[in-house]
Amino acid sequence: MDNALSYNAMMAWTAFGMQDYSTLEQHANAIYNHFVHNPSELLSIDSPLLIGKIFQVCLGFQEPDQDIQEVRAENAFVCFSKALNSEKQDVHDEAAARLMMLLIQWQRYLINKVEQACQAQGAKPYSFLAVHNDGLPNDMPMATNTKMLFTAYYLFDEIIDKTNVVNEFIVPNERKAFEYVKKHILDNCNMLERTPQYRKSELGNIVFDKICKQLREDIESYSNNM
């Protein structure tokens, strides 16, 4: 990251930890504006977890502009999906946990993008499964919120240290939110007995890959048109 972006990120996250929301908003807005003008940097940023966290916590602002919140949620998703590839277990696990929260707690800001991603044409067929015209397996749930539930379940499955991942959250409200999201995911997945647990995770993985692909394409398209 360049010096200004790094400074704003550190100041924003410190402010969040101190519950200084005015300072958080000031530095977070600078980060938001940086990526408005440099969207392709989201795909190669070297501190994706930190930047993603700042976008995510700003979803709690009383923001009247739905489009801004959707961009924040999408940017956070891109950052966390990149952090998910980290070789550091704590970074990987926290990224997965925060993606779960985006899909459930902040679902309203991502649901349209998930719907778009799952309707995309030209998806690579899964040769071992019968597929719809949209490239999804026949046993994929029709409802977008159930697709997001299965994606969150897949991400929970990906967490290595499921017992201690909650300790990665430094603010009590975030820890409570994660525990609520985790319970929501497990309880609701358990109620959907017609689909085996392992299959819920497989289907969630398919949706996750489609979301990531759609968001990358959006960023590349936006960058090319600037």
* Three-state SS annotation for 92-127: HHHHHHHHHHHHHCCHHHCHHHHHHHHHCCCCCCCC
Strand segments (E) across the chain: none
Q: How many CB atoms lie within 10 A of CB 161?
A: 13
Distance separating alpha carbons of residues 120 and 105, to the nearest angstrom: 25
Enter the DSSP assignment of 137. B
- Per-residue CA distances from 177 to 90, 93, 139, 166, 171 (Å): 18, 16, 30, 10, 10
- What tokens appear for 82 in the block? 């990149």
Structure-token match 């067929």, residue found: 125
Enter the DSSP assignment of 20. -
Write down the pLDDT at residue 53.
98
Structure-token match 């940086």, residue found: 34
Q: 122's torsion region: left (phi>0), alpha (psi -120 to 50) or beta?
A: left
Do the Cβ atoms of 24 and 56 come closer than 8 Å? no
Q: Is 128 exposed, middle or buried (0-12, 13-18, 19+ CB in 10 A)?
A: exposed
Per-residue pLDDT tens over the stretch 84-114: 999 999 999 999 999 999 999 999 999 999 9
Say how many CA atoms lie within 13 Å of 185 toward its Cβ: 30
pTM of the complete model beyond 0.75: yes
The phi and psi torsions of 139 (rounded to 5 degrees) equal -90, 10
Write down the pLDDT at residue 17.
94
H/E run at residue 49: helix 48-57
- The stretches in the chain having pLDDT less than 50 are 122-133
